[in-house]
Structure 1
Amino acid sequence: MTNFDVKDLKLAEGGRRRIEWAAREMPVLRQIRERFEKERPLAGIRISACLHVTTETANLMQTLQAGGAEVVLTASNPLSTQDDVAAALVSYSEIPVFAIKGENNTVYYKHIHAALDHKPHLTMDDGADLVSVLHKERRELLPNVIGGTEETTTGVIRLRAMAADGALAFPIIAVNDAMTKHFFDNRYGTGQSTIDGIIRATNILLAGKNFVVAGYGWCGRGLAMRARGMGANVIVTEVDPLKALEAVMDGYRVMPMKEAARIGDVFCTLTGDINVIDRPHFEVMKDGAIISNSGHFNVEINIPALEEMSSSKRLVRPFVEEYELKDGRHIYLLGEGRLINLAAAEGHPASVMDMSFANQALSVEYMVKHAAELKKQVYSVPAEIDSEIARLKLAAMGVEIDVLTDEQVHYLNSWEEGT
């Protein structure tokens, strides 16, 4: 195989060992892979995947391949690729990979085009960049495409906007909508891995710090919970009154970002929106404030404004840029404002990605079977898939649950009985 672009194939052996280690924590995906090997439900299907190139993603790619799919993988973020994993997929699984950690935007989009050269029947996206390029620049490929899946909140938002505009050319299953995805991946995965990334980048003690969490969706909930567990004083900023109320009831201080900016020591955005930390916030931040992002794109922090306000900047640690403002204060930006849990750490633990990627694998199988029946819109993961993944996960953990008796089923489906 010659059609790939990775950093160094000599890294492959180390990548293979780490992929195998992750597999030990992914029992649900392993069960799906064993079934796929027997049934081959994806035989002859070409899949172009734009995902974070990690050990967990490698196990998903191998599962799709076991089901008969011809898979190509490219990165969904320039800083999230694990180069040894990319090399291992090429060397040992013969899966074409186009991804190099630290690639610039030009190379990033060149790699997306290379993945689309595969002429996919199905797309698999994390952030909707692949689908966006396909619709804007590679429309000649659209007749081949029967459907796709989307991994994350940001991508689902973009795709629903496309569908509302009548621009979406094929059906998409929003994997992020699955309860076994956002309840666990977003909350526990993002919570733990974001803290991991911030600490790896800075080596600071969180205990006693004012830790500002921008956004109280499932990712924000998880990060707030983990930051409090590390001893931080957690402050939440929100625009949604219901989520803000929930944060108050969960015991956090809630205030506008303009107020939080004055007292925060560490900031992290997880909203999916633009300029959440902006010029007015930089103007009032403490000397030494640390800012980071765990949303999909590096737009949540207004980096151009920070650049304009600064007299100089320098890299003081890997993934830590010191901006010296014109008034002498210093602000520290982590991971170029990109996903800090993947830029400076390894992303979500394999055991939580087990459920997310089980949703991906089963949603692809569902799309192959039902694409002809689906309209050009964004669908949630079918409830039966969600429940089956939860059942398989519980079984793998050795956890048993009760089963309704016939009497209980009858009672729940009747209206005659009361007090």
Structure 2
Amino acid sequence: MTRKSSTTFVFAIIAVFPLVAALHSFPRLSTRLFIGSSPATGAPSREFNFHGEYGLYIKQLENEIEVNWITRKEDSGYLQIFGGGSLLYDHTTTKSRAHSVRFNRNRLNQYVLKYGGIENPEDRHTTTLYLNDKLKRSPATFNHVDSIFVVGDVHGKFDELTQLLMNANLINSSLRWVGRRAHLVLLGDLFDRGPDVTRVLWFLYDLDVQARQQGGFVHIVLGNHEIMTFVNDLRFLSEKERLVASWHRTAYAKMFDIHESVLGQWLASKPGIIKINDILFAHGGVVPNYAYYSIQAFNDSLFSYMHEPVFAHLLDDPIDTTRFSPALWKNRLDFFFSPISPFWFRGYVESDTLEKYLDAVLKRFDAQLHVVAHTPVETIKKFYNGKVIATDLQNAATEMLLLVRHEKKRHKRFKNDLYGKISEL
């Protein structure tokens, strides 16, 4: 990729000074300006999967859980709910492709769901739900981690992601965590473009818990496409994922509603910036404007702002000033959609003139390296004399960064490809 000149990136240099003023002077712009490719269109090129976790949608209501699933063909559905080692509920549904059952929730924090189609022995699935304290917000700062694996934008590519993790010996053929104390970082943009976003999310939802049980960790760092889905900006949604919502007779964004959806609540508990050892991670990149936050303060603000009523209306045009303060709306719009926010910034990959700003950020967070995604590169690549590593690939989820800690707190740097080949970066 040809890097852009300092003239092209005048906006970035202006944007980072003064630190706070720029954050509050950003005009309202369409997010269409910040994304480089077109939404997926046209007929599907292969047969899509909708069964099991490919099409599973679960809502957590005040006193009930609602489970929605799709069978491989028109069939009578079944749902069994286990908790505390006992069968709690056993339901069947009438013949259809899409099925929905609600059951009363008790005080258990974990349920095992067995569901599918009655007539088809290949349509049998199991999903574990972790509720309440099992999904508390994750810490965002970690030390003394020996092995860190990093995946950039995934964009719904389930098969590639699981092959990548399997060949790195992080999961086994049953898709169970075997990475022991390793840390896996997914740098956002799990949503959009690809066909299997819902399956990717349920896979990571369970892997998150499995890794912690073995002393490892799966970090989900939110990206711009997570934010876009939360606020119902679906221009880059694949046709297959749109069909999942259609089967369930709901809006796609409702499947990931941060107040009711199990997956939405889980995602909303995730950070936007993390630090492991002396490495700073963010989807787009952190600029000095956002360095006045501590990591904890940024993530606290992220969580709080997503749960404000105005969040769901950030892209309303015009904004309803009888319901929301224009100043509050503008501040939150800047936080989530400014081109210099950690969700959207591209400058560290597209420009070679921002080193003093990068150095200021690294010094502020006592970091030696900044790992980012968001801006596509052909292969995982270093910038700024190795102080930035870009992980978002033009062919998503086909390589993974590996950082191995060794003496003097430095990290050896490698990349793993889809077939398990490791090469030094």
| TM-score > 0.5 by shorter chain | no
Structure with the bigger percentage of strand? 2
Structure with the bigger percentage of helix? 1
